[in-house]
Amino acid sequence: MYSKTEVTQLRQAFWTTFGQYMQPVPSAEGVPTNWINYKTGLKHVYFRMQADGRHATIGIELTHPDAGIRELFFEQFEALKLVLHETLGEQWTWEPAAEDANGQTISRIYQELRPANLFNRDDWPRLISFFKPRIMALDEFWSTGQYAFDELR
């Protein structure tokens, strides 16, 4: 079992390591990007990477507080599902109604790696190998797919 301080330090160390590893990698548009805190440019639409002692996930989270608007965004992603899965090179899990860590209802499209332990440095190469191609594929998808959301801005 890890203390709260150790958990915080290991989490911070992993994300710092991942950020340094990804820093030289340009976005699909050829510009530097903050891969860890990826900006979609669309309010309530996030590309999130998360990891803990049991598993890791990467996904698209739709967090709009209005369920109807969130549903419209989810439906727009569904219209792009084939393009998204082609770009990712794999099928992801689609959840129109899920709960985030704060108990808020969100929609999400994600891929999961189990088992994976962020707190075991031996798992870090596996975690990086899981996150890197997927965040890059999301970026590639978003470089053109974002325009399908112009009317929802």
- Residue-wise pLDDT for 9-67, tens only, equals 999 999 999 999 999 999 999 999 999 999 999 999 999 999 999 999 999 999 999 99
Is the model's pLDDT at 97 over the cut of 80? yes
**Domain ranges, ordered by start, for the chain:** 40-152
Is the model's pLDDT at 153 over the cut of 90? no
pLDDT category, 151, cuts 50, 70, 90?
confident
- pTM tops 0.85: yes
pLDDT category, 76, cuts 50, 70, 90?
very high
Three-state SS string over 84-105 comes to HHHHHCCCCEEEEEEECCCCCE
Task: Give the rounded percent of residues in the chain with a pLDDT score beyond 90.
Answer: 93
pLDDT of 49 reads: 98
pLDDT of 47 reads: 98
Query: Most distant CA pair in the chain: distance in Å?
Result: 49
pLDDT of 41 reads: 93
- The span from the CA of 87 to the CA of 75, in Å, is 18
